[in-house]
Each structure stands twice: as structure tokens, then as C-alpha cells.
Structure 1
Amino acid sequence: MPTVIEKLTIAMLCDLHKKLGVESQYDVDLVTQAVGEDDLWILRWAYNDFNEIDNPEEVVFVGDVFDMFSFIGRGYAALSQDDKTKVDQSSDHVAAWLTFSGYDGNNESRYRSIAHTLVNRLNRFTEFSDVANNNSHCPMVNTYARMYAAFEPIRKNVIMREMTADEIIQVVSEAVHPDNR
């Protein structure tokens, strides 16, 4: 992490860059955000020059969650009507778990910020642009983690194909806490 003095220097250089209208390969606002919020991972995702910067666990997790919901959404859309009915009837609450619901604004603001930055600042997972900053109003990290644990082994086998109804049901059913099954 940059020191306080290094952060101040970068912020001031970014301000000068912007005020003078200097053309650059770097998005000055993105650099300011990355340094100011101690989110240097943003630079790794935005530019090829920063591969030595590690992705924090939370960033990897949010990316994995978006990947999972991408597969669920595409898979469900590609199902036959009979298979959609099978998925829909697999649980009373299945429809709520077929799409990304966001993160809790009070308790998961870090995840919510990462989701917003990935989608709306870095143009990744853009199919979630309408929901990336959603406030779920309840904690979702543990729910998504259970779902992803079921999805991860499936993910390895969905190369060049979409998820099946049974695979979708398997993943979505993990949204219900084990104590409530």
C-alpha cells in the first residue's frame, strides 16, 4: 500500500493532470479512486501494467458471484419451457435466487462498492449494470458463498454449454439456509 505521502502525491498529480487536461492512457478519476480508497486492485483490473497487485478475497468473491449469476441467467433463459417449469416448481422462492440481488448496504458495503466498481467503473459483468449497486437489505455474502460452493464444481463442466435445469436447481437450492430446509 502507498504511504500517506505517496497517496497525497498521487492525488495532487491527478488533480494537476485533470486541471491541465493532459491526455493519458490512465483514467485519472479511476486512479484517484483506487489510491484514495486503498483499492489498488482497481488498477490491476483496469490496466495490464499492474499484474503484481493482488486481488483481495472480496474482489475475487464478487467476481465469482457475478460469474455464477451470469451462468444461471443464461442457463435458465436457454431452458425449454418444461425445464423452466421444473426449475420454477423446485422451490417456493426459486425466482428470487435466479438473479443477483445485491449486497446489504449496512453490513456488506465493501462488497457492494466492489460490485459497483467492477460493473459501472471497469465495465465488467455489464449485464448487471442495473443491479450492481442494489441494496439487498439483508446480508447476502453467506448465501452467495453457499450457492457458489455448489456452482464451482459445475462451473468446470459448463464449457461450451449452458447449465441444465438440475444444475440450476442444485445451485439455487443452496440459497435456503441449511437450518431452514
Structure 2
Amino acid sequence: MELSKVERLLLINQYSILGVLDPDNQNDYELNKEILLQGYKQNYDDLIEWVLDDLPEEISEEVIDILQMYRSLNFSYRGLDKKEKEKVDPEKLKFKGFDGNDETRYMVYARFFMHKLERFEELWGEGKNPDYNTHHSTLSKYRRMLDTWKSISDRYDSNLSADKINRILES
């Protein structure tokens, strides 16, 4: 990473201010200041190792598509009469999340989008802050479900039949 002298000076000043505001972490701030003052380029990345790379828009768009699909399924289910509702397992209508190990960025973005931005509240389920870690892969299943859902022309009308709901859930 490259930093100009001006950028380094700005960061040094910020670490000085943080040291005053947060004396418990003063040693860390002093270390970071030394890295910047001495121009230790090899260690610049240490200053930002906790800052993640940009989340690809494709991931956030796919998460939102999945949430929209679950919204459609749930609203459609609510509109079914009692006899039709009996054909659908309501447990399968719950958005479970993503695998925390292999689908981490999806899981974290879903949590952020739903709870920090307060979207798709009808999918939250029990408790205000579920972790959405399924501990098993879900993305391939969701993608199959999305393909089926997107093939249905009236998918946004929230009037999917029990048969259409099951066809999507069983994809």
C-alpha cells in the first residue's frame, strides 16, 4: 500500500487524538504512529487488516433477491385459505441464512441488510437478532429456488398458489 506524507500525517494526527480519547489502547496507537512516522511501508497493511475488501455488488444483489423471494413466499402463504395452507410446511418458509464458514459474506450482508437497515422484518423470525449461520451450505439451494421463482411471471404479486410455493421450496 502506498501512502503520501500528507496521508501519513493525517493518520498520525488521528492516532494521537485516539490516544487521548481511548487511553486504554494508547500503546496500539503509539505503535501505529511509529509505523507511519518511520515510513515502514511493509507494515502499512497492519493498520487496516481489519478493513474488509469491498463486497461485490453481485453478492448483495443475490442476497436481496433471496430475501425478496422469501418475502413473496411468506406473503403468498399468508394469503392462502386454510385448506391450501395445509399443503405447505410453514417451517420451510423461514429464512435460515447462510453458512458462516463458506458463505460468510452472504451471511454478514443479510444480517446487516435486515437488521441494521431494518428491512424484511417479516422474515426476522424469533428474536430481534438471529445470527443467520446455518452451519451448512445453503447458497446452491437458494439459487435453484431463485431460478424456479424467477420463472414464475406473477412472483411479485404475493398470490402464489400452494403448488407454486412448494415447487419453489422443493427446487
- TM bucket (normalised to shorter chain) is 0.5 to 0.7
Query: Which among 113, 116, 120 is matched to residue 121 of structure 1?
Result: 116
Measured on the aligned residues, the alpha-carbon RMSD in Å equals 3.1
Deviation of 1:143 after TM superposition, in Å, equals: 0.6
1:4 Cα deviation after fit: 6.7
Decide which of 114, 130, 139 is 2:137's aligned counterpart: 139
Question: Relative to 1, partners in 2 of residues 1:152 and 1:131: Cα closer, same or farther, differing over 3 Å?
Answer: farther
- Specify the code of the residue in structure 1 equivalent to 2:77: Y
* Separation (CA, whole Å) in 2 of partners of 1:58 and 1:137: 19
Q: Tell me how far 1:133 sits from its aligned partner.
A: 2.8
C-alpha separation in 1, matches of 2:142 and 2:133: 15
TM-score, normalised relative to structure 1? 0.60
Structure number with larger C-alpha Rg: 2
Residues 141 and 153 of structure 1: CA distance in aligned 2, closer, same or farther (over 3 Å): same
Is 1:60 aligned to 2:61, yes or no? yes
* Letter paired with 1:133: D
Gaps of 5+ in 1: 20-35, 42-54, 89-94, 175-181
Letter in 2 for 1:87: V
Summarize the Cα distance change of 1:114–1:77 in structure 2 as closer, same or farther, 3 Å threshold: same
Please tell me whether the aligned partners of residues 102 and 131 of structure 1 are also in contact (alpha carbons under 8 angstroms): no
- Secondary structure in 2 matching 1:87: coil
- The total of aligned residue pairs comes to 131
- Aligned position for 2:164: 167
Instruction: Provide the identity percentage.
Output: 28
